[in-house]
Every structure is written in C-alpha cells, then in structure tokens.
Amino acid sequence: MASNAYIIANKRAVSSHPHRQPHLPLLLLLFSLFFIGKFDIVSALNYTKYTRKVSNLRLQRIQKHLEKINKPAVITIESPDGDIIDCVHKRKQPALDHPLLKKHKIQRVAPEMPKVKTLKRDEGSGDSKRKEGEDLIWQMWHRNGTRCPKGTVPIRRSTTRDVLRAKSLFHFGKKQSTTINPTRRADAPDVVSSNGHEHAIAYTGTSQEVYGAKATINVWDPSIQEVNEFSLSQIWILSGSFDGSDLNSIEAGWQVSPELYGDSRPRLFTYWTSDSYQATGCYNLLCAGFVQTNSRIAIGAAISPVSQYDANQYDITILIWKDPKVGNWWMGFGDNNLVGYWPAELFTHLAGHATMVEWGGEVVNSRANGKHTSTEMGSGHFAEDGFGKSSYFRNLELVDADNSLSSVHDISTLAENTNCYNIKNSYNNEWGTYFYYGGPGNNPQCP
C-alpha cells in the first residue's frame, strides 16, 4: 500500500532521541500568455522577468513538444493544488519514445528485493512511529479520493507556462550541466561546480562496487528566494568520470523548484543522465527514459503533509537498486512499493554498477542581488539544531553485489560553505548511520 510509504515522527519523542492538457488553438494559447504573471505567482517570488512576448513559432514548438509528452489520458484527475494528473495507459507512457527503448518490453516480473543483512530495529521504540492502519494522504492529488485505474500510470500534465519558465525548450526539465573544478581531488564527490550549486552531503568512496542505496528523508518546505533557484534533498547513484562528459547519475528525493513546477511545494522527483547532464536525461517523466509501473504514485506531484518546526516530522523512504537478474535500476518507495525503473539500456557505466553514492541537500545560489541567496536547504536550520528543527537523513544503507542491504558505516561529508549550510553525521542503533544538514543561506556569517 502506498499509504505505508509515509512516516510520521511525533515531536513528543524528541527527548528520547540521542541527539493532457487538451490541444488548445493557437489563439487561445496567445490569449493565455497575458495571464502568466497573474497565475504563476509563487509566494513573494517575482515572475516579471519571466513574462515576455513569445513568438507564434515558439508557441507552436512548445505545443508540439507538449503533445509529445502529455500522452492521451484514460481518465484525468484534478488535484486541489492545481495539478492535472493524467492516468495514461502504461504502454503509452513517454519512456517508450526513447530511441534506445523502441523494442523495450516493460518488465512484468517484479525485481528481487534486496535482502537485509542485519535484523530490523524495533520501529516502535524510537523517534519515528508509523501510523499503522491510517490511510495517510501523502500526495496532494490523493485528496479527492480518485485513483488511476489498473494498467495506467499517473503523470503530472505539463503546460505552456511550465515550459515558458524554463530558459529554453531544450532546457525544460533538465538540470544545468556542471563544470568541474580541475583542482578537485580525484575521489571527491561530483559537487564542485561553477554554476552556483551548493551542497551538504554524505558520500561513499569511489573504490567499491555499489548496486543501490536507501535512506529515509525528512520532508520540509524550504523557502526559495528566486524563481530559477531550487532546494532539494536526494540520493545520487553515480558512475563514470566526474571530470569528463560520461558521468552516469540516477537521482530521487524531494524538491522545491518554482521554475519547474510553478509553486513552492515540496515534490517527489526523479532524475537521470548518462552524459554529465549535458543532453541526456531529465526530471520525472518530462522526457523518455524512466518507466513507471505504479498507479498510485505520481512523480512530480506535491507531498503533503510536511514537517513543521518543533512539531510533527514527516519523512519518506527511497530505495534505488539494480535488479540482479534483468539489470534495470528500480526505485522503491516506502515499504516495498515499486515506483518504476530506469532501463539498463539508458546507461553506459551504470549498465554495470555504481562507484559512488551521495545523500543530502543541494541548492542553487544565483547571487541575484550580489549577495548569497536566502534559499533554504532542508528545514532552513543548521545541523546542530537537531531533531524537530533541523532536517535529517536516517538509516543510510547500501546494496552490494549479492543484492544485500546493509547499514553504511564509512562515509565522508562535505559542505562548500558551512556558514551557509552544514552537515553533521552520527550513528545509533535506531537510526543507523544518519545526519542532520541544511541551513538558511544568507545570514551575517554568510553574506
């Protein structure tokens, strides 16, 4: 059940913790542009500079692209937050448009789940307590009670306004490519870039063969200063050259991105690339690639409820691992809920195995006013504030060549500027290897 995927940690336990959009005529599309500024309002964010005159040719190109990715729906569900969720037949989903997947048959036999090496902890004895028997509403579109029928997958519909917020049609749904600092250590994680991305992460070494990773991630709604900035918390599965153009990456977690989604809500997301974010891959289902199999989980949909300061804490559990028999990389959510998979055909290095895993937060610092951004990471509080105040990742685990899952013990941590965002890791029997991380960004010590 998808309801078991969402966990609540009660604040009373703090003291016990050790520390298809329809085809629109062109005239209607043109008319709608006059209202972009009116409807694309995100908190105090200013969309003025993103509202510009658009040529008929560009609108036609956008509409053609939307017709390609917004597949015909069996039924359509309107979410309270304004999202439109299209229930698309699983064999009509965008993934199968990929040139490498023309002959791909959707994997029907469930993958072999990783075996747990160590005994499971008593889940009722620590900070996180599962609300057994409750049908927790963990995505906004679930609230009206309608679900996608069997044999379909829920896909968040993209709109003209979504594309217009992007730098270009090519950049829609993509991360910026990174430029690596040539002086970086050979074993350092792929985070040192010149495009304003900042991180607070834990990571493994590069000498081992890794076949997956898992973690439980605290969910917040950090504030974003600029429309083109974001704040995310995720798992990275990596292989290839960090200082070349062949890096393979599989990513999943939650993200607040006004430019991508048009609001400031935290949303479940995925990402992949096989060429260092240059041309391949995208977020969610905004391009061909990721094959969805789950009819209840909408990638890119808003998560609700979210954690509150010194109050109830909510988290999600994400598992990414390589099916030892077929070779596809699967994503699990919560208690063994299969979301879908990244076909092995998409990758070069990850067709074999991963060499590094990262867990943690990332923000974009655009320095729009000549100062460090005030975009928050995690809860917006530093790691030392602890449970209920700072954001956390807990129960960090890795999957080995035997498809066994075990707790991570040897990790390193990195934060480019600890006066803006930081990270502190530890270990205990209940949370295994865990860490607190995040920060407010701009402050007197982070000008």
- When comparing pLDDT for 116 and 19, which is higher? 116
Based on the residue annotation, tell me whether 251 is a catalytic residue of this protein. yes
3-state SS track over 217-266 = EECCCCCCCCCCCCEEEEEEEEECCCCCCCCEEEEEEEEECHHHHCCCCC
Distance CA 357, CA 179 (A): 20
How high is the pLDDT of residue 189? 57
Instruction: Name the H helices within 48-148.
Output: 56-69
Distance CA 230, CA 345 (A): 30
Q: Which of 226, 229, 362, 397 is catalytic?
A: 362
How high is the pLDDT of residue 4? 43
Instruction: Name the H helices within 345-435.
Output: none
Q: What is the mean pLDDT of residues 376-386?
A: 98
For tokens 């899952």, what's the residue? 405
How high is the pLDDT of residue 51? 52
pLDDT exceeds 60 at position 191: no
Q: How does pLDDT run across 88-99, given as a tens digit for each residue? A: 999 999 999 999
Q: Would the CA dihedral through 349, 351, 353, 359 be positive or negative?
A: positive
For tokens 């062949």, what's the residue? 246
pLDDT exceeds 90 at position 350: yes
Least confident span in 35-49, 220-234, 376-390, 407-421: 35-49
Based on the residue annotation, tell me whether 362 is a catalytic residue of this protein. yes
> Which residues, including other chains, have CB under 8 Å from residue 42's CB and lie 6 or more apart?
224, 227, 258, 262, 263, 264
pLDDT exceeds 80 at position 420: yes
DSSP string computed for 312-328? -EEEEEEEEEE-TTT--
As a whole number, the mean pLDDT across the chain is 85
pLDDT exceeds 80 at position 48: no
Using CA atoms of 92, 97, 101, 106 in order, give the dihedral in degrees to the nearest 10: -10
Q: Which of 229, 251, 376, 397 is catalytic?
A: 251
Half-sphere exposure of 55 (CA within 13 A, CB side): 3
Alpha carbon of residue 207 to chain centroid: 26
Distance CA 39, CA 33 (A): 10
Residue 17 token pair: 């913790």
pLDDT exceeds 70 at position 385: yes
How high is the pLDDT of residue 206? 73
Distance CA 170, CA 58 (A): 12
Distance CA 409, CA 398 (A): 10
pTM of the model: 0.86
How high is the pLDDT of residue 16? 36
How high is the pLDDT of residue 137? 55
Q: How does pLDDT run across 199-208, given as a tens digit for each residue? A: 999 999 877 8
| Long-range pairs, 167-172, Cβ under 8 A, ≥24 | 169/58, 169/61, 169/62, 169/65, 172/65, 172/286
pLDDT exceeds 50 at position 42: no
Residue 152 token pair: 């379909």
Q: What is the mean pLDDT of residues 258-262?
A: 97
- When comparing pLDDT for 276 and 10, which is higher? 276
| Numbers of helices and strands, H then E, in the chain | 5, 21
Distance CA 176, CA 168 (A): 12
Q: How does pLDDT run across 134-184, given as a tens digit for each residue? A: 334 589 999 988 999 999 999 999 999 999 999 999 999 998 765 434 334
